[in-house]
Amino acid sequence: MARYLPSISRNPLVGLLVLWVLACALALFGLGDLPLRDFDEATVARVAFELSTKEAGNQLLPTLWGAEYINKPPGLHFLIAALISLSRNLIDPLESFPSEFVVRLVPALLSTLVVPLGGLIQWKLRPKEPIASLATAGILLTLLPVARHGRLAMLDGAQLSAMAFLWLMLLSLDKSHLDRIRALLAGLVCSFLLLLKAPFVIPALLAGAIPTFLSKKFSKSSIWPLASFFGVGLLPGISWHIWNGINRGSDALWLWGGDGATRVLFSVGEGSDLGSLVPVLEIIEGGWPWLIFWPFGMVCAWKERYKLWGQWTLVTQIVLAIAILPLRTQLPWYSHPLWLPFALICGIPFAWIINRTSSKNVPAKYLLARTPYLLIIIGSGLILLGMAGVLEFLGSIRLYSEIAIAAGFGWVAGGWLLTRSLIGQRSLGAITVVFGNFLALFFLMGSGFWLWELNESWSVKPVAEMISTAKASGVFIEGNHERPSLNWYAGQHVRRFEAFSNSGWVLTENQELFKEAHPENDCFLSQEGEEWDLMFCKAK
């Protein structure tokens, strides 16, 4: 059968490289077109910018508007700061603040690495099924949450790629002379995880270590050398936390306790009303069309629970689910680590659709062989919706029509080819499904819709421009409207009005009502905007 397979499937490295290039193109397209969003992007940008202006040892201690920043370790902030410094020196030395593209570039590129790394993990798990490696990478390329969150100036995309590299290093241990190098690299990537979201290193490491020791018989004499090299790799991350503790005392524990594990485990944050349903809904909403294959993959993993692939997929998914589902604070990106085991599980039944002799343990083959018809049905619905928008029968979805049509045609044409009898046709069908999803995501990333958390009641850029025009400093904003993105674009910390003293600049939504509410101040209008008015007030 091997001679009938496309040559790229015999060694997936070339295919993985192609998919990684596509992931980079998707990550960079329209990357700087939309403003930085609240809260994390604007905060990450400001911390990185301040790091880029520091010198010597001060570069190791992040600040936010001059105050100690103890929300997250600065691993990604260091890298963004380095790029900001480089762009300031080489590209645009006159520009005071970096562009959105510069701020997002490093996390966007790091997030793309999960695509080839996920494929390599699958190839290690099932070396005789290279098509499964390409299928897994194709799934990771075209998952909406992976593509979208990875473009943000946030920690989650880089964290997912780092976890994938850690698992690949653990999976590569083979009792050879290279194991010490792999252990060192595993320690180094754990150092990086310690500098992203420090508590997450525990479930990420456990998820990979448990199946590693279940499947490989290590003697006591071989464990200690590996552990020592792993420990050396951990030194950079641990050293930073020690240095942070020396300089900031008990406040340094906030990274682990107050704003780390303690907060998310015991405090219900904003947007967490649905509790553990939030990550479940994220998988259901963001997993299409690959969610069709997940039940088949789970049954297959259970049937192979005593084999390498079954142990890895089950353990990694269970450990991460145990780490994520019980969290009291639930935000959409907290479920981001679950996408890697999701792709590893879905990759096997999807690969079986292409090469139907590749795995003997795939369950319900009769039903699985008919899943392409479901793709055709759903894809047809997407095409009809897209055309209804184009023809203005449903004007409300007109802006999304090209996205729906691209995905729909990919699913319909690819689904039809996946029902054919020849493996070459089915291979082309798989490529068509992946490319349809990729093209739809490409259209999405070039639009103004991919950053939907920016759907705020007012835009910060006009307000920031108003502040800059007035050359106002020490600005306060009325009500509970403090936004990190406004701070970023205004170039200063715009504080809540509760901190207002006797005089200063005030942003108010209604100048007349503000004057009536604060008769003790003499206020005059400086700038009038659509949403906010800028006033200067002083005590009478």
State pLDDT tens for residues 420-460.
Answer: 989 999 999 999 999 999 999 999 999 888 887 655 678 88
Distance CA 319, CA 196 (A): 19
Query: What confidence score (pLDDT) does residue 459 get?
Result: 86
pLDDT band at 95 (very low <50, low <70, confident <90, very high): low
pLDDT of 272 > 80? The answer is no
Asked whether residue 99 is assigned to any structural domain, the reply reads no
pLDDT band at 364 (very low <50, low <70, confident <90, very high): confident
Are residues 170 and 150 located together in one domain of the fold?
yes
Query: What confidence score (pLDDT) does residue 5 get?
Result: 46
Are residues 464 and 421 located together in one domain of the fold?
no
Domain of 524?
Answer: 460-539
- For range 511-537, the mean pLDDT: 85
Are residues 268 and 404 located together in one domain of the fold?
no
- Average pLDDT over the chain reads 88
- For range 213-231, the mean pLDDT: 82
pLDDT of 290 > 90? The answer is yes
Boundary of a domain, candidates 334, 365, 396:
365
- For range 191-205, the mean pLDDT: 94
- The Cβ of residue 201 has, within 10 Å, a number of other Cβ atoms equal to 23
445: nearest Cα among 142, 185, 129, 210 = 142
Are residues 388 and 338 located together in one domain of the fold?
no
Identify whether the C-beta of residue 523 lies closer than 8 Å to the C-beta of residue 506.
yes
Which of 250-259, 274-283, 429-438, 504-513 is least confident? 250-259
Asked whether residue 77 is assigned to any structural domain, the reply reads no
Are residues 429 and 509 located together in one domain of the fold?
no
- For range 160-164, the mean pLDDT: 97
Asked whether residue 76 is assigned to any structural domain, the reply reads no
Q: What is the pTM of this model?
A: 0.91
Phi and psi of 440, rounded to 5°?
Answer: -65, -45
Are residues 354 and 426 located together in one domain of the fold?
no
Distance CA 425, CA 429 (A): 6
Look at the chain and report how many structural domains it folds into. Answer: 3
Query: What confidence score (pLDDT) does residue 514 get?
Result: 83
pLDDT band at 416 (very low <50, low <70, confident <90, very high): very high
CA 148 → CA 38, 255, 285, distances in Å? Answer: 15, 26, 13
Dihedral of alpha carbons 315, 320, 323, 327, sign: negative
- For range 475-483, the mean pLDDT: 83
Q: Which residue has the higher pLDDT, 258 or 123?
A: 123
Q: Strand order in 475-477's β-sheet?
A: 495-496, 475-477, 504-508, 533-539, 521-528
Boundary of a domain, candidates 365, 398, 425:
365
pLDDT of 138 > 90? The answer is yes
First to last CA, the chain: 89
Q: Which residue has the higher pLDDT, 171 or 390?
A: 171
> How many percent of the chain have pLDDT more than 70?
91
